[in-house]
Every structure is written in C-alpha cells, then in structure tokens.
Amino acid sequence: MKNKIIFILLISIIITGLFSPVSVRAKDENKRIVTLGSDLTKAQRLQMLERFDVTENQIEKDEIKEVEVTIQDIREQLGMDTSKPVAKGSVSISSCYVEVLPKGKGISVTTNNLTEVNKNMLSNAIVTSGITDAKVIADAPYKVTGTAALAGILKGFEQSMGKELPLENKEVARDEINVTKSLGNEIGPDKASSLINDAKTEVIKEKPKDKQDIVGIVDKTADRYEVKLSESQQQSITELLTKLNDLDLNYKDLKGTLSKLNDTMTKSLEKSGVILKENNTLLKKISRQLDRFGSFIKGIFNKDSIEKIEPADIETKKTQIKDTIDDLIEKVPAK
C-alpha cells in the first residue's frame, strides 16, 4: 500500500510540474548569427536575410553577426581533406540562422530548399557536435542538396560561443548525416532519423563495451522500427555508433535534448501512420499521456482556442490519465 501511495504522489508531482512557470531569457540576450554562403549574389544575400527575418540595421548595430562561409570553411568544418583540390563547380550557397538558446530549451531546426538533408538529420548531427540548445534555420535561394548546411551551422555556433567545437565530434556528425541520408533513401528520411536517434541515445546511455554490444543495440532498434537492415546498412550504422561511443558523450548532459528530439520525431511518425513497437510499454504510455494531457490543459488557457473546448474532451482526457495511473498501480506489488 505504501508503494502505491508513493507512485500516486509521484504522478501528481509530474502533472503539477507540467504547469510550473518556465523562466525565459530575454531575446536580446541570446547570441544570434547568420552564416551566408560566399557565392551568393547580392540579391540572394538580401533574400536570405529576409527569410531569416534579419535586417541590415541589426547587422550594422551588431545585434546579429553576419559570417561568410566559403568552400574552404565547409571542408574544414566537416573534417574533409583540405589538401585535395576543390571539385570543379563547387559553390557555397547554403545559409543559416543560428541562435543559442537558454539551457533546457533543446534543439529546433527549420529547413527550406534542402533536398537531401532534412531538419531531423541536422538536429541529430547538431547534438553529436556538442550543441544542446539552439534554434536553427537552414535555407538556400534555390534547391540544393543541403549536405554543406551543417558546416554553416557549426561555424555559426563557434562564432557565437567564441570557441571551436571538437573536430572529432564534427566528423562524426558529418558521418551521421551521410549514414542517415543513405538509410533514408530506403525507409524514408523521418523514420531513418528517428531510428538513428534512438540507437544513438542507447549507445550514449549504456556506453557499450564492445562492437557486439553495439550490433545488439542496432538490431534491437531496427526491430522496434520493424526495419530489416541489409548487411551493409547494419555495418555502416554500427561503425557510426562505434565512433560515437568513442566520443564518450555525457548522457546526463544530453538526456533532456535527446528526449525532446525523440518525442518530436516519434510524434511526427505517428502522424504519418508509423506506430513503433514499444519497449517498456507502460512507462512510455504514462509519459506520452502526461505530455498530451499537459498540452491539452495549456490549450484550455489559450484564449484563441478556449471556445473550441468541449466538455466531452475534458472527460476523455481525465479518463485517459486515470486509466494510465490505474495501470501503473496494478504493476506495483502490494505489501
């Protein structure tokens, strides 16, 4: 009985926490950078600034810093061999808006005109690079692959923070985008990004001792997504996660950011009709129901939507939460 009471109190505390006030740092204290491809024309540069909602006046007053990204910058940022000649026809076009956010805000990425790299791929790579809280907009004046967008993002962060990110992290982030992009060609980019994020989270958390343990994580994650990996796919993901494991990333520091990314990606997949096999079904169900209930309650206090709330909707949410708590209590052994 004592255990039941403890669990009920725990759930009550979690629900209460959903509505606690959140401190937000003033916007003008945030560090903001725009990185613009060096091969943009003057008209394209202005087009990018307009897309980022940045004015020349803000740049002149140093409220927002403008940074140029060259082909050489791209090669250096992504750990490419800079001794080799630049491929003929290479241009630096992709541009980014980068804003460092207060701790705990997580990663928010928006993309436009990137054909091969999506926002989830960039989000994953940004975390691997060592960034946990940021708002990013990646864009181009016309359709480009987007494979160089990460370089502009990373240079923007380094300019903003006044220090370089570890090169080994940036190289793994580059590989992560390439592996995810390749897998995405087979199973879809969103599903591939979510699968890689889940496997990555498990590796960072568990710190596997050898390659066989990493293979086990890859297989378990693929099974949850009901994806049958080819031998080459399993090998490329395993090699990526082995490099990631060698970075010795701190799970405690990244837990909140990884969790938010996982929630965002999972909800996106659910909306598209992809339902994952659940591990630890009860706990995941509780987390999801509490999250949805919190969003629902916050919506009630939104003056734009308050008139749309039906009494039946409130009763439905109450029932869902009650059933979830009842499920939890049933799992607790009585003493």
- The yes-or-no verdict on residue 13 having pLDDT over 50 is no
Over residues 54-73, the mean pLDDT reads 94
More confident position, 265 or 18? 265
> Helix 119-129 vs helix 189-206: angle between axes, to the nearest 10 degrees?
20
What percentage of the chain carries pLDDT values higher than 70?
A: 73
Residue 181 has pLDDT above 60, yes or no: yes
Per the model's pLDDT, the better-predicted residue between 233 and 81 turns out to be 233
SS (H, E, C) the chain: CHHHHHHHHHHHHHHHHCCCCCCCCCHHHCEEEEEEECCCCHHHHHHHHHHCCCCHHHHHCCCCEEEEECHHHHHHHCCCCCCCCCCCCCCCCCEEEEEECCCCCCEEEEECCECCCCHHHHHHHHHHHCCCCEEEEEECCCCECCCCHHHHHHHHHHHHHCCCCCHHHHHHHHHHHHHHHHHHHHHCHHHHHHHHHHHHHHHHHHCCCCHHHHHHHHHHHHHHCCCCCCHHHHHHHHHHHHHHHHCCCCHHHHHHHHHHHHHHHHHHHHHCCCCCCCCCHHHHHHHHHHHHHHHHHHHHCCCCCHHHCCHHHHHHHHHHHHHHHHHHHHHCCCC
pLDDT at 22: 33
Cα torsion 51, 136, 195, 18: sign: negative
- Whether 193 and 121 have beta carbons less than 8 Å apart is answered as yes
pLDDT confidence band for 298 (50 / 70 / 90): low
Domain boundaries, the chain: 27-165, 182-271, 279-331
Digit-coded pLDDT (tens) for 191-206: 999 999 999 999 999 9
89-116 tens-digit pLDDT? 889 999 999 999 998 899 999 999 999 9
Amino acid 326: pLDDT: 56
Please give the pLDDT value at position 148. Answer: 85
- Taking phi over 0 as left and psi of -120 to 50 as alpha, with beta for the rest, 6 belongs to alpha
| pLDDT for 314 beyond 70 | no
| Bridge partners, residue 136, by sequence | 98, 109
Between 20 and 59, residue with greater pLDDT: 59
- The reported pLDDT for the residue numbered 83 is 79
pLDDT at 288 over 90: no
pLDDT for 89 equals 81
pLDDT for res 35? 96
Question: What is the rounded average pLDDT of the residues 62-90?
Answer: 87
Q: Tens digit of pLDDT for each residue in 37-55? A: 999 999 999 999 999 999 9
Q: Do the beta carbons of residue 260 and residue 197 sit within 8 Å? A: no
Q: Give every CB contact of residue 82 below 8 A, 6+ residues apart in sequence.
A: 72, 75, 76
Could you tell me what percent of the chain has a pLDDT over 90? 59
Mean pLDDT, rounded, of the chain: 82
**Torsion, Cα of 212, 213, 217, 223 (10° steps):** 50
Residues facing 55 on adjacent strands: none
Cα-Cα-Cα-Cα torsion 104, 110, 114, 115, nearest 10 degrees, comes to 90
Q: How confident is the model at residue 280 (pLDDT cuts 50, 70, 90)?
A: very low
**Half-sphere CA count of 297, side-chain side, radius 13 A:** 14
**Residue 44: C-alpha distances to residues 54, 93, 120, 126, 333 (Å):** 14, 9, 26, 26, 65
The predicted pLDDT at position 267 comes to 87
